[in-house]
């Protein structure tokens, strides 16, 4: 679940938010959504500029210059810059992998340790399931420390493929024709620009998700083998052969539709909500200095607070929308491992689902659509088999 990680939406998609439980998928989502309103903005309106500090001449944005040069970098530095993004993404993915691993085991319903009795804020006794740290300690006891990184290799390959795909698409479809949202735009004009930019980000996210999804499926199945102690999926190449032989080409894309729907809902929900909040509630007259005139060293400081507020708005909206779209992530992950010959995808852990809609309805009836969304304070649900003595 990381910024460059297709499964980790937003949290990155802010790793700390993953602990709060808004989804492993936050990685690319947050990165894609944050790109819409975090663009370079036009200078402040003329009535806010002090006579002593004339408005500086408009400069081409970094994004436009980057697109004109052909992608993530400029000139000869483009391959180096892209490799740097891949390396940074790999580091974040490796560090966050134990978190995603534990989350997936909880999602499939594997609870190897009994709950403990605790008290809530009202002083009543409640049952708590093991937290992330207790669960991770249990995995170390069974498989050793290296066991926390089961399924990491295909996930690293998936994230690298997603990053390279997005960079290549920026070269083929450069975003230099997309107009940036300006403080001088009226509501209708700025909304059109947000819609255009969100559509562009949605296209890149959907294409990268589809290309990287087969590796995501392999990674999920490698991890859930912990439940039944199987060794069916041991390597990327051998796993590709097994899936193609047993399930055909469609086997590589099980669970893709709910993941795509979650990405689309996240992007549009986050960007439109942040846009309307910034348009109606954020006052551009907010300034760092009295009168909003800036100072000799920084004539543009009069609008820095407004930009800071807008960035916080995008972050908060990313967290809120990610929590609402978590069921899409859960259903997609469960479908990726359902009925694949592993114990975690068969009864009693899970029924054999006919479609992702069947899976969604089943979880909804059981009240489990947010199972695994919290990794710290996990209360036993009322429908659980556990009960207080």
**All domains in the chain, ordered by first residue:** 81-285+302-366 (1.50.40.10)
227 Ramachandran zone, left/alpha/beta (phi>0; psi -120 to 50): alpha
pLDDT at residue 49 is higher than 60: no
What are the distances in angstroms from CA 378 to CA 118, 124, 251? 11, 15, 33
pLDDT in tens, 118-131: 887 888 888 889 99
Mean pLDDT score of the chain: 77
Q: Please name the residues in contact with 380: beta carbons below 8 A apart, sequence gap of 6 or more.
A: 115, 126, 127, 128, 129, 386
In the three-class reduction of DSSP (H, G, I as helix; E, B as strand; rest coil), residue 284 is classed as: coil
Q: Which residues of 329-348 are buried (b: 16+ CB within 10 A; e: fewer)?
A: bbbbbbbbbbebebbbbbee
**Which residues of 15-167 form beta strands (DSSP E)?**
116-119, 125-129
pLDDT in tens, 357-387: 999 999 999 999 999 998 888 888 654 544 3
75 Ramachandran zone, left/alpha/beta (phi>0; psi -120 to 50): left
pLDDT over 90 percentage in the chain: 48
Rounded to an integer, the average pLDDT of 15-42 is: 43
pLDDT classification of 78: cutoffs 50, 70, 90:
low
Q: Are 41 and 61 in contact (CB under 8 A)?
A: no
Rounded to an integer, the average pLDDT of 175-182 is: 58
Identify the pLDDT of residue 28. 47
Backbone φ and ψ for 113, nearest 5 degrees, come out as -115, 145
Q: Are 220 and 233 in contact (CB under 8 A)?
A: no
Question: Residue with structure tokens 């691993």?
Answer: 101
Edge to edge, the sheet with strand 378-379 lists: 116-119, 125-129, 378-379
**Range in 1-10, 102-111, 150-159 the model is least confident about:** 1-10
pLDDT over 70 percentage in the chain: 68
Identify the pLDDT of residue 175. 74
In the three-class reduction of DSSP (H, G, I as helix; E, B as strand; rest coil), residue 6 is classed as: coil
Identify the pLDDT of residue 210. 96
pLDDT classification of 186: cutoffs 50, 70, 90:
low
Q: Are 10 and 26 in contact (CB under 8 A)?
A: yes
Higher pLDDT, 37 or 267: 267
What are the distances in angstroms from CA 352 to CA 43, 331, 346? 57, 13, 6
Backbone φ and ψ for 211, nearest 5 degrees, come out as -70, -35
pLDDT classification of 277: cutoffs 50, 70, 90:
confident
Token pair in block for residue 32: 């894609």
Higher pLDDT, 348 or 18: 348
**Range in 204-218, 298-312, 335-349, 366-380 the model is least confident about:** 298-312
Identify the pLDDT of residue 382. 55
For the chain, the residue count is 389
Rounded to an integer, the average pLDDT of 2-13 is: 42
Q: Are 125 and 389 in contact (CB under 8 A)?
A: no
pLDDT classification of 71: cutoffs 50, 70, 90:
very low
pLDDT classification of 172: cutoffs 50, 70, 90:
confident
Identify the pLDDT of residue 283. 64
Q: Are 7 and 89 in contact (CB under 8 A)?
A: no
Rounded to an integer, the average pLDDT of 30-36 is: 48
Identify the pLDDT of residue 296. 47
pLDDT classification of 338: cutoffs 50, 70, 90:
very high
């Amino acid at each position: 679940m990381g910024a460059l990680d297709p499964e980790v939406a937003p949290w990155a998609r802010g790793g700390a938010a993953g602990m709060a439980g808004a989804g492993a998928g936050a990685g690319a989502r947050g990165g894609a959504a944050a790109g819409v309103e975090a663009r370079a903005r036009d200078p402040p309106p003329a009535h806010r500029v002090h006579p002593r500090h004339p408005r500086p001449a408009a400069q081409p944005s970094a994004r436009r210059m980057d697109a004109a040069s052909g992608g993530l970098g400029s000139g000869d530095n483009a391959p180096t810059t892209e490799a740097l993004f891949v390396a940074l993404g790999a580091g974040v993915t490796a560090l966050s992998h134990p978190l995603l691993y534990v989350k997936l085991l909880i999602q499939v319903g594997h609870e190897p340790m009994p709950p403990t009795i605790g008290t809530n804020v009202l002083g009543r006794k409640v049952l708590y399931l093991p937290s992330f740290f207790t669960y991770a300690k249990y995995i170390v006891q069974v498989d050793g420390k290296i066991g926390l990184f089961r399924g990491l290799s295909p996930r690293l390959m998936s994230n690298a493929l997603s990053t390279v795909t997005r960079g290549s698409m920026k070269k083929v479809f450069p975003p230099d024709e997309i107009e940036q949202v300006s403080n001088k735009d009226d509501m209708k004009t700025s909304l059109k620009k947000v819609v255009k930019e969100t559509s562009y980000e949605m296209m890149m996210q959907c294409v990268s998700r589809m290309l990287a999804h087969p590796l995501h499926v392999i990674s999920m199945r490698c991890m859930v083998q912990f439940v039944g102690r199987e060794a069916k999926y041991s390597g990327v190449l051998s796993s590709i052969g097994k899936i193609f032989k047993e399930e055909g080409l469609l086997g590589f894309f099980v669970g893709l539709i709910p993941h795509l729907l979650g990405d689309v809902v996240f992007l549009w929900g986050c960007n439109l909500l942040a846009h309307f909040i910034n348009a109606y509630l954020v006052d551009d007259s907010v300034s760092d200095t009295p009168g909003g005139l800036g100072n000799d060293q920084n004539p543009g400081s009069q609008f820095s607070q407004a930009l800071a507020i807008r960035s916080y708005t995008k972050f908060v909206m990313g967290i809120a929308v990610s929590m609402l779209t978590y069921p899409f992530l859960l259903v997609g992950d469960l479908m990726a491992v359902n009925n694949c010959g592993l114990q975690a995808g068969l009864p009693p852990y899970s029924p054999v689902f006919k479609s992702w809609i069947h899976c969604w309805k089943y979880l909804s009836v059981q009240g489990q659509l947010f199972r695994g969304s919290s990794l710290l304070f996990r209360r036993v649900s009322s429908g659980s088999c556990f009960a207080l003595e």
